[in-house]
Structure 1
Amino acid sequence: MFLERSRLAAAVAAGLAIAVGATGTAYASEKAQAKVTRAAIDPALVAGRGASVAFQEQEAENAATNGTVIGPDRTAYTLPAEASGRTAVKLAPGQWVEFTLPKAANAITVRYSIPDAPNGGGITAPLAVKVRNTTRTLSLTSQYSWLYNQYPFSNDPAADLLHPDWWITECACVPAATSPTPAITKPFRPSHFYDEQRLLLGATYQAGEKVRLTASSAAAWTVIDLLDSELVGAPKINLLAANVLLFGADPTGRRDSAPAFDKAIAFARKTHLKVYVPPGVFQVNRHIVVDDVTIEGAGNWYTIIKGRSIALPAPAPDNSVHSGVGFYGKYVADGGSRNVHLSGFAIEGDVRERIDTDQVNGIGGAMTDSTIDGLYIHHTKVGLWFDGPMSNVRVTNNVIVDQIADGLNFHTGVTNSVARNNFLRNTGDDALAMWAEGTTNANNTFDHNTVQTPVLANGIAIYGGTDITVSGNLIADPIREGSALHAGSRFGAQPFAGHLWFTDNTTVRAGTYELNWNIGLGAIWLYALERNIDADIQVVGDNFLDNTYNAVMLVADWPVKDLYSITNTHFKNIKVDGTGTSVLSARVAGSATFENVDARNVGAVGVNNCGSFNFTPAGSEFKVADLGGNDGGWLAPWMIPNTITCNDRPPVVAPPAPSTW
């Protein structure tokens, strides 16, 4: 796995002055200044990429603290690996971490982890938040974190294997084929450690003022990953709308407001008004069905629509076994919805386990000619899961965090649609996905989104489709069984056709360890599993920074390695700054062209060319075409076109931190 730098080196690299005590605790200087990062690195290195957001990100390891810096570490199932930047600060009861505000702020978001309950289910613990002479309490919980075991995971740390017949990397065995079944260490594969909570501070504090977070004795330890600080504007007021209060909605959250929402929507449709949801907490424990309606909140810090997860007495027609808060277009079988516009509110769910049949997503159904803008979606299964066919949906300026599965999925026949300027963190599966299952997706774009710390799978994944663009995104710190950018002929998806463009994206600390294959993935990886990939694939203007393993991987699964290939793939104007192993790993038949691909700090041979592993006298089944301008010595002349240079598991060399090119 990834070679760790020492705790001392990590802190020095972060710009801290520290002294290490006899207990191993790292005491950071109280003179630590405000250091703003994006994806835990210098913002200059990712300028123009990712979402433009209202908050300032500060990593805890760059702040003043009397706690312990943990990490860096990229080993899955560890607290540092799931932290932004792969480093965080661990506090014992009474210890603190103190941030210096870089700009005026009246609100904060704290990303943290606290222990699970001994038997699962989570605990709660207060966190003291002190600014000037005022101390507030932020209620932390682990009820929405700490999953265990194999997919689809368990909340029980003592659970036996969910799939006894699956390959278990840790023992290199198929348990059902051995006698007795090998013992596993419990809890087995703990993950999804982090959560985040928001807090309005009640006043505006100026740049240079301190925010001190102090851990309580209610938790054995508290890990602080980062603090986002923000200056939130005044709530939006709309007097010329159907206000849900007039239809019986309860802004205190004590009574169920779902019927009031239904009445307000019906009235607004008849009178051609918008629906307005004022500041408050509104309890909604089921789907609000939306069609031809505009619903506006006062802003996602003020208008909070919060639901409980309720077990149903019998499965619903959509196969759900729980209800939960969500705004859903009508399903396609019921005609779908059109002209839906949702903005300016938060959706707070109550999803604590992954049940794939449950429709407990923040946004769902089909919504043609619709917009979703400025929402905060938290603790649902999937932030937005669209089931087409549907067309022309715009998903913009949303914050989607702490999901149990995907962040957003354009599923089945979504066309002419865009997700732009969204911020996603801590998803439990692909953060942004297009899945052309059954019916193709076409003419869709993921543009200028930021994805951080997807715990499982990929930052951005494209499963089939026609004329797809992935542009200007920033993806950092994928944890396991996926990476930053992915295109795969998988999951019954329609074939890729037309073009697939990955342009002007930046990945940071990407390339995870694939448990089933026992190899590292590329920051971008193309996977031919169910058919050839032969559409026009252009990877242009992308930057791959601090790659754990390879920057680029093209791969077929072993059982189909002689059936499927990847061709017509082109890499141009790429910068690769740091690889633990190679720049390119080819484990498939096919070909690719490379032009103006500059690489430095490469940990192994520039090209790992295994082809289809037949090792023919004519060379690899994968051909590399050098179109010129490939600097850094990674693509040596003797490798062209298909010299076999196959070494899937070379020693991993931790690259230095990325810097200005």
Structure 2
Amino acid sequence: MSWSITGAAARRTGRASRRAAAAVVAVTAAAVGLSVLTGGTALAGKGTDGASTPVVTRAALDPSLVAGRGASVDFVEQEAENAVTNGAVIGPDRTAYTLPAEASGRMAVKLTPRQYVEFTLPSAANAITVRYSIPDAPNGGGITAPLDVTVNGRNRSTMTLTSQYAWLYNQYPFSNDPKAGLLHPDWWITECSCVPSATTPAPTITKPFRPNHFYDEQRLLLGTKYRAGDKVRLTVPVGSRAAWTVIDLLDTQLVGLPHVDVSAANVLAFGADPFGRRDSAAAFEKAIAFAKRKQVKVYIPPGRYRVNRHIIVDDVTIVGAGNWYTIIKGRQVDLDTPAPDGSVHTGVGFYGRDAADGGSTNVHLSGFAIEGDVRERIDTDQVNGVGGAMSDSTIDGLYIRHTKVGMWFDGPMSNLRITNNVIVDQIADGLNFHTGVTDSVVSNNFIRNSGDDGLAMWSDKTADAGNTFDHNTVQTPVLANGIAIYGGRDNTVSNNLIADPIREGSAIQVGSRFGAEAFTGYLRITDNTTVRAGTYELNWDIGLGAIWFYALEKDIDADIQVTGDHFLDNTYNAIMLVSDWPVKDLYSITNVRFKDVKVDGTGTSVVSARAAGSASFENVDARNVGAVGVNNCGSFNFTAAGSEFSLTDLGGNDGGGTTGPWLAPWELPNTITCDDRPPVVTPPAPSAW
């Protein structure tokens, strides 16, 4: 079907398309046969009898606990610790810089050669995604290692795993060198409780120092449709270069046929190479120019295209055959001289024009994958999957991995719709609305293993306003937060699922920091679910909240309502309101309203207040609370009049823990109940309310 349709496209685009027809036949056939797309061999065969009951989860939870929240995705998650294995289950552990802590659900399975983990398909599937970790090379830079995939004991494929995009070390912005000394010897180091450069004798820092970002993931088309009950086994073969292989989870799905667009300008007609042997950037640009003149779309058929620089897009629609089939991959390229924006590298990415040049409009990107080659964090580099400024535009159905940030937008810009994308394995953020992004929506996206905030609005210099983050899933951000809102006006965070933030952040942060404009108008945080959040803040040596408000540079005094949210299995606190010590008497957090909230399990308190200000609570139900319900330190002046932070009970606040009701009358309005670092009680697993 694909080659005859492409012939029709060739007639529309002229002689160049006719010359490309043979290549289209070859690449489409190759895509169906998998040799282009997977790098492995997948052979069809019959299933075997016998079945075990698969355990299907969402963010390592019973799906019933998060119904209606997070992204609706076309794959099914199974955690390795719930599968059949002869390996070793590791975890649970939430201690940063450990393999279990960065795993979904804080558990995984560790295999050595000859060991396996076996999953039972809960539904028909022809494709898998494996989230895994293997060791780094002794001097950094990563290794590769095989992983055998069989279905029903047959049909063996071999995936080539890599740690080239994992394993960072040291202090921010991190190093790829496990033997490097401190990047910032003048910074406070928790491990020695000192500033090394000011300490005599200098402390000995264990190397590698603070290893992190252990995991990566890889996809594989299996070549045939398998039935529910069939068994997918992942085995580490004898002779693997990896001393161990950790399997975190398996996603399975049924991928449809490649999408074909017969009326579009086919990039093959302009010289694009679907086998990736030569750079196709110029061919893409020719196709885009032609499509704009003829007012048609650009179509990128199945293939693996090499693109080593930005493709500038404006007033154009670009569609692929589907993100399993159309893969646009590039290596990171050193620039001879730094770019005006400070970049020292370039790489694959689709960018709107700079906002200073008017930005881009009417851009529509869909149905392809972007795979970068970013292995280090350089904050001045523009090596993101999608970037620039795009107004009145849509981005739908992309798969982005191994770039610095999946999508980073520098406004001012407005009316951008970002839907149904998968963003994984980033060095920094998953997505960031930076500087004056307005009236835009990020909905039904799945983000996993970001190296910084999963989703962020950063009102740097100009307020982000009128935006919505809705029905997204964010899992295992290695650093910082699942969703972060830094200033802005009239924004909404709703119906999201955020799980397993690792360190120095949490599920949701409302922060006056990073030079952001003040919060004004309203902020609505509504009907979100967080799980296993409330991390340890390395520099403060305290536990955070699943949601935390941070007044570092300005007061937080907008109309902020937290309504209908569920905070499950909180490592420390469910809710935290804090100001940094040097500014504790300058900035406050006032008039935050919590209503119809459920808290199931806290390692410490329901509310921890470490700032001046106030909040009200109505119908906030809590259970399995590990410490006193309200840990109220205020701004640490311990006045005779009580804490500088007051709590208002609007009724219906029920439940608590071993210390009694979480919001007891004696705590109101501002009793000092300050315990700087209370003992942590491990919460039980969440359950139906």
Q: Same fold (TM over 0.5)?
A: yes
Q: Give, as a single letter, the amino acid of the residue that structure 1 aligns with 2:257.
A: A
Amino acid at match of 2:675: N
In the alignment of these two chains, the number of paired residues is 632
Which of 107, 115, 120 is equivalent to 1:100?
120
Q: Which segment drifts farther, 208-217 or 143-152?
A: 208-217
- In the TM superposition, what are the counterparts of 1:205-284 in structure 2 within 5 Å? 205-216=226-237, 217-284=240-307
Residue 78 of structure 2 is matched in structure 1 by: 58
Cα distance in 1, alignment partners of residues 578 and 179 from structure 2: 36
After TM superposition, the structure 1 = structure 2 runs for residues 85-234 of structure 1, keeping only pairs within 5 Å, are 85-132=105-152, 133-216=154-237, 217-234=240-257
Code of the residue aligned with 1:238 in structure 2: it is D
State the SS of the aligned residue for 1:615. coil
Other structure's SS at 1:171 match = coil
Q: Deviations over 1:248-299 (max 9, x none)?
A: 0000011110000000000000000000000000000000000000000000
CA drift at 1:594 = 0.2
DSSP-derived class of the 1:269 partner? helix
Specify the alignment match of 1:643 in structure 2: 671
Trace 1:440-589 onto structure 2 (pairs within 5 A). Answer: 440-589=463-612
1:115 is paired with a residue whose SS is coil
Instruction: After superposition, give the CA deviation of every residue in 1:613-635 in whole Å (9 maximum; x if it has no partner).
Output: 00001000000000000000100
Q: What's the offset of the Cα at 1:31?
A: 6.9
Q: 1:32 to 1:69 in 2, by over 3 A?
A: farther
2:42 is aligned to none
Residue 35 of structure 1 is matched in structure 2 by: 55
**Percent identity for Structure 1 against Structure 2:** 79
What is residue 682 of structure 2 aligned with on the other side? Answer: 654
TM-superposition CA deviations, 1:581-609 (whole Å, max 9, x none):
00000000000000000000000000000
Stretches of structure 1 that go unaligned for 5 or more consecutive residues are: 1-29
SS at match of 1:170: coil
Report the Cα distance in structure 1 between the residues aligned to 2:215 and 2:113, rounded to whole angstroms: 18
Q: What amino acid is the match of 1:436?
A: S
What amino acid maps onto 1:158 in structure 2? Answer: K
C-alpha displacement of 1:65: 0.2
Range 174-183 or range 390-399, more displaced: 174-183
Quick one: which amino acid aligns to residue 491 of structure 1? F
Give the drift of 1:32.
4.7
- SS of 1:169's partner is coil
**Residue 317 of structure 1, CA deviation:** 2.3
1:48 maps to what in 2?
Answer: 68
Q: CA deviation at 1:70?
A: 0.2
Deviation at 1:535, TM superposition (A): 0.1
SS of the residue aligned with 2:221? Answer: strand
Over residues 452-509 of structure 1, what are the superposed CA-to-partner deviations in whole Å (9 max), with x where a residue is unaligned?
Answer: 0000000000000000100000000000000000010000000000001100000000
Task: Give the corresponding residue for 1:610.
Answer: 633
Output the TM-score relative to the length of structure 1: 0.95
CA distance in 1, matches of 2:168, 2:234: 26
Unpaired segments ≥5 residues, structure 2: 1-49, 656-660
SS of 2:562's partner is strand
Give 1:358's aligned amino acid.
D
TM-score (norm 2): 0.91
* Contact 2:51 2:230 survives alignment (8 Å): no
* Separation in structure 1 between the aligned mates of residue 463 and residue 408 of structure 2, nearest angstrom: 16
> Displacement, 1:312?
1.3
Name the amino acid aligned to 2:411: G
Find the aligned partners of 1:326 and 1:127 in 2 and give their Cα distance.
Answer: 30
The one-letter code sitting in structure 1 at the alignment partner of 2:113 is P
Pairing of 1:307-346 with structure 2 (within 5 A)? 307-346=330-369
The residue type paired with residue 415 of structure 1 is: T
Q: Which letter maps to 1:57?
A: E
Find the counterpart in structure 2 of residue 352 from structure 1.
375
CA distance in structure 2 between the partners assigned to 1:365 and 1:482 by the alignment: 27
Matches within 5 A, 1:76-91: 76-91=96-111
What secondary structure does 1:591 align onto? strand
Deviations 1:517-551 (A, max 9, x none): 10000000000000100000100000000000000
Aligned residues of 1:278 and 1:297 also touching (Cα < 8 A): yes
Which residue in 2 is equivalent to 1:626? 649
Please name the residue that 1:392 is paired with.
415
CA contact (8 A) 1:33 1:63 kept: no
Q: Would the aligned equivalents of 1:312 and 1:322 in 2 still touch at CA under 8 Å?
A: yes
Mapped partners of 2:253, 2:241: distance in 1: 28
Question: Does the CA contact (< 8 Å) of 1:548 and 1:579 recur in 2?
Answer: yes
CA contact (8 A) 2:51 2:229 kept: no
CA RMSD after TM alignment: 0.7
| Cα drift, residue 33 of structure 1 | 2.3
The Cα of 1:218 is off from its aligned counterpart by 1.8
| Residue number among 306, 319, 322 corresponding to 2:329 in the alignment | 306
Tell me if structure 2 keeps the 8 A contact 1:31–1:64.
no
Contact 1:32-1:62 within 8 A present in 2 as well: no
Matched residue, 1:68? 88
1:311 deviates by 1.0
Q: 2:450 aligned with 1:422, yes or no?
A: no
8 Å contact kept, 1:407–1:432: yes
| Alignment partner, residue 363 of structure 1 | 386
Distance 2:448 2:441 in 1: 19
1:595 to 607, 618, 630: 618
Corresponding position: 1:293 with 2:316: yes
Write the distance in 1 (CA, Å) between the matches of 2:535 and 2:568. 14
- Secondary structure at the aligned position of 1:204 is classed as strand
Please name the residue that 1:13 is paired with.
Answer: none
**Which amino acid in the other structure matches residue 634 of structure 1?**
W
Q: Does 1:375 pair with 2:398? A: yes
Find the residue that maps to 2:327 and give its secondary structure: strand
Q: Secondary structure at the match of 1:48?
A: coil
Q: Residue in 2 aligned with 1:439?
A: 462
Find the aligned partners of 2:680 and 2:189 in 1 and give their Cα distance. 23
Structure 2 residue matching 1:517: 3-state secondary structure? coil
- State the distance in 1 between where 2:340 and 2:654 align: 58
